[in-house]
Structure 1
Amino acid sequence: MSVAIPNVPARTSRRRGILTSRKGRVGFAILLALIAIAAFAPLIAPHDPNAIDAARILAPPDLAHPFGSDALGRDVLSRVIYAYRVSLGVAVGSTLLAFLFGVPLGLYAGYHGGWVDTLIMRPIDMVLALPALLLAVALIAIIGPGSDVALLAIAVIYLPILARVVRSSTLVVASQTYVEAARARGTPSRRIITRHVLPNAIGPAIVQATILMGFALQIEAALSFLGLGAQPPTSSLGVMLADGRDFLTQAPWIEIFPGVAIAITVLAFNFFGDGLRTRLDPRGVAR
């Protein structure tokens, strides 16, 4: 006797209008613009971001230099444009790396349960118990400072978060009738996971990852500000904040523009994440 498995489309109705939310569209548009700025920085930047001009030390904004100059006479606008390449690269790269490893771990832990769940989730719980910034600082202290090390440190922080989100979603999906029917029919576990569980459990993790990218940008800025991330003369938003901290009253534009850039990017990620939540996270829709 065979068991009929319902044909369950993986959220097709939710995919039709992923950007129907106004906030989601605004966030998506801003992020596209920022990614374009980072990708085409050499074409967009009006000046060499590392060019020192002694005649323009701490010069205020003008038509030729709309964001002013820093303590070395470097153009702040050009440095902000190039800083997006580093800061966005670390934020997006670290989250994608955590997503790449966290999703499979959460899937297998939630689907198989028992000793598999214990073996996977107990070390993850131990990492989650540690303060995030302290863990990042400890890893950088062991390996050494740099934007690539900051990327790795943030990925280690985010992997347990995404694994837990996927595990929770998997526990719900794995108890559904169509998954039980697939098991009763003798469908291999790997096929059940990839065909039935993953498409229906991945939504909340995508939403969470999108929002985490905004926080990753803040962590990267904090680490670079402390001298643990990107190193001068590399242009990073955190490095720029560190460069301007001694001139806050004399030349506030050195701090203001990188700070505004961070705020805009974080808001864009949050808006985009909220837009995705209405379509990909059923719990978010229920709320």
Structure 2
Amino acid sequence: MTETASTPIAGGKIESHRHSPKRLMLVGGGILVLLALIAIAAPLIAPHDPEAVEVHRVLGAPSLQHPFGSDVLGRDVLSRVIYALRASLMVSVSAVLASLILAVPLGLAAGYFGRWVDSTISRTLDLILVFPAMLLAVTFIAILGPGSVIAAIAIAVIYLPILARVMRTSTLIVSRNDYIAGSRARGASHLRVLATHVAPNAFGPVIVQASVLSAFALQLEAGLSFLGLGTQPPTPSLGGMLADGREVLIQAPWVEIFPGLAIVVAVLGFTFLGEGLRRAFDPRGVAE
């Protein structure tokens, strides 16, 4: 009787764990899709011009007309958050995508061919890992100048060795499988083996890592904009809004709170998606 009662509980527990990656991916993906739609439709849904200065609304409290209040220049905070979200997402996502495009072939070549190819690629990328992320980004921008494009390039360079390492490790594991040796024995070229067998089976962990890094890229972009090195005015950015609101945090906390909440929500979206993907690709399942 005890076994009969415990079996459904155990089964229900396993079933719950089995579906938890899907729930995380749905939540994370839903948040990101919603934020992406808001960013894309910014000109349509923003209630005011994000750069319109209203002197009589300086540090105005949230109201029906201005739900997020207004900043030190009387600009509508809600409209600025919507446009800033677009700028921040564009920089962070494009940076990770650019890094991914470069990292995948480099990691494939290093893991598949090994020897001098692996040593050359790995040692070169290791040079980037010597520097802390923020220090490398600031140095990069100090040389090329500030701006959203330069910030995206700097972030892409920072995350290139991380993604390439993950792709290399995954390629090494896949390359040891018997079907890879069998494909080579049948006379398949290296390019065909890489394209049809190795890359599709080694790509999963890199996608997971890219999802997680997108959250860090968003924070890094906000940090650079906070320092005045990322997205430049008059284009709103979440980090720039935080920098503008720090002097009036006590007097008008809404100027600082809402951009910060936008960053938190976006980071949570990327984190949930990455964690869901990680659990889905985990061959051992989710263990407590």
TM-score between the two structures when normalised by the length of structure 2: 0.91
Secondary structure, counterpart of 2:234 in structure 1: coil
Gap change, CA 1:108 and 1:283, over 3 Å in 2: farther
Instruction: Supply the AA of the counterpart residue of 1:271.
Output: F
Aligned to 1:41: 42
* 1:155 Cα deviation after fit: 0.1
Aligned to 2:66: 65
* 1:275 Cα deviation after fit: 1.5
* 1:21 Cα deviation after fit: 2.0
Distance in 2 (alpha carbons) for counterparts of 1:55 and 1:282: 60
4+ runs of 1 displaced by more than 4 Å? 17-20, 283-287
Aligned to 2:91: 90
Gap change, CA 1:18 and 1:148, over 3 Å in 2: farther
Aligned to 2:6: none
The unaligned stretches of length 5 or more in structure 2 are 1-17
Please list the CA deviations of residues 125-184 of structure 1 after superposition, one character each: whole Å capped at 9, or x if unmatched.
Answer: 111121111000000000000011000000000111000000000000000010011122
Distance in 1 (alpha carbons) for counterparts of 2:207 and 2:282: 9
Please list the CA deviations of residues 200-259 of structure 1 after superposition, one character each: whole Å capped at 9, or x if unmatched.
Answer: 000000010011111100000000000100112210001100110110111111110000
The unaligned stretches of length 5 or more in structure 1 are 1-16
Instruction: Supply the AA of the counterpart residue of 1:153.
Output: A
Gap change, CA 1:284 and 1:41, over 3 Å in 2: farther
Aligned to 1:127: 128
Instruction: Supply the AA of the counterpart residue of 2:50.
Output: P
Gap change, CA 1:60 and 1:264, over 3 Å in 2: same
Q: Is the 8 A contact 1:19 1:276 kept in 2?
A: no
Distance in 1 (alpha carbons) for counterparts of 2:78 and 2:282: 38
Q: Is the 8 A contact 1:70 1:244 kept in 2?
A: yes
Distance in 1 (alpha carbons) for counterparts of 2:284 and 2:53: 53
Task: Give the CA RMSD over aligned residues.
Answer: 1.6
Q: Is the 8 A contact 2:21 2:275 kept in 1?
A: no
Q: Is the 8 A contact 1:207 1:281 kept in 2?
A: no
Q: Is the 8 A contact 2:163 2:206 kept in 1?
A: yes
Please list the CA deviations of residues 68-95 of structure 1 after superposition, one character each: whole Å capped at 9, or x if unmatched.
Answer: 0000000000000001110000010000
Gap change, CA 1:94 and 1:150, over 3 Å in 2: same
Instruction: Supply the AA of the counterpart residue of 1:165.
Output: V
Gap change, CA 1:152 and 1:51, over 3 Å in 2: same
* 1:197 aligned onto 2:195: no
Gap change, CA 1:177 and 1:155, over 3 Å in 2: same
Aligned to 1:181: 182
Distance in 2 (alpha carbons) for counterparts of 1:267 and 1:94: 19
TM-score between the two structures when normalised by the length of structure 1: 0.91
Aligned residues: 271
Secondary structure, counterpart of 1:233 in structure 2: coil
Secondary structure, counterpart of 2:181 in structure 1: helix
Distance in 2 (alpha carbons) for counterparts of 1:91 and 1:117: 29
Aligned counterparts, 1:6-155, within 5 A: 21-155=22-156
Q: Is the 8 A contact 1:18 1:275 kept in 2?
A: no
Instruction: Supply the AA of the counterpart residue of 1:145.
Output: P
* 1:257 aligned onto 2:258: yes
Q: Is the 8 A contact 1:31 1:269 kept in 2?
A: yes
Gap change, CA 1:208 and 1:281, over 3 Å in 2: farther
Instruction: Supply the AA of the counterpart residue of 1:188.
Output: S
Q: Is the 8 A contact 2:21 2:277 kept in 1?
A: no
Instruction: Supply the AA of the counterpart residue of 1:109.
Output: A
